[in-house]
Structure 1
Amino acid sequence: MQLGTRWQAGGDPPPTIPAVMRDEIARVEAALPRVGPLPMWTLTWLESRPIAELDSGIEVTVDADGAATVSTFDPMD
């Protein structure tokens, strides 16, 4: 795993993030409640694929076919 960078939701994602991920990140951010400070994203790379994880556990990834996927963290799993 390679650490990338962090940025606040609503800010500009790093330029290294693929366009398909940018669209999904924008959709996630549009659904965030506007109460208090916005959470932070963390960009990491695993097996050369980007993973953007929001502090709440929501992840935006790119699958082997190049499609972006949004998943949520469930602490009960």
Structure 2
Amino acid sequence: MQLGTRWSVGGEAPSSLPEVVAYAVTTVEEELVATDVATDGWKWTLTWLEGKPVVELDDGTVIRFNPQEDSATITQPVQGEPDEFDQD
């Protein structure tokens, strides 16, 4: 069993992460800096699902590892414009 952990945005990612996942974390953080998103107090949460790392940011961004392809998939939350059917 592997235990998860939390770390602050801009902090050092756990060394147990595959390189491609650590790179994806860095990519997300660079995008947040480039778009002037205030991330004070934001943290990443690492959990292990069936032996594979799943990393989630406080804003809902999720990074999943695909060991067969040695790739990481970044899924960001969608924030759309309200339409006429949305309730107040």
Please report the TM-score for the alignment, with normalisation by the length of structure 1. Answer: 0.83
2:56 to 53, 57, 63: 53
CA distance, structure 2, for counterparts of residue 70 and residue 56 of structure 1: 13
Q: Which runs of 4+ in 1 moved over 4 A?
A: none
Q: 1:46 to 1:36 in 2, by over 3 A?
A: closer
Report the structure, 1 or 2, having the larger strand content. 1
Q: Structure 1: which 5+ residue stretches go unaligned?
A: none
Name 1:18's counterpart in structure 2: 18
Please tell me whether Structure 1 or Structure 2 has the larger radius of gyration of its CA atoms. 2
Q: How many residues align?
A: 76
TM-superposed CA distance for 1:28, in Å, is: 0.1
**RMSD after superposition:** 2.4
Unaligned runs of 5+ in 2: 81-88
> Is the CA contact (8 Å cut-off) linking 1:2 and 1:46 kept in structure 2?
no
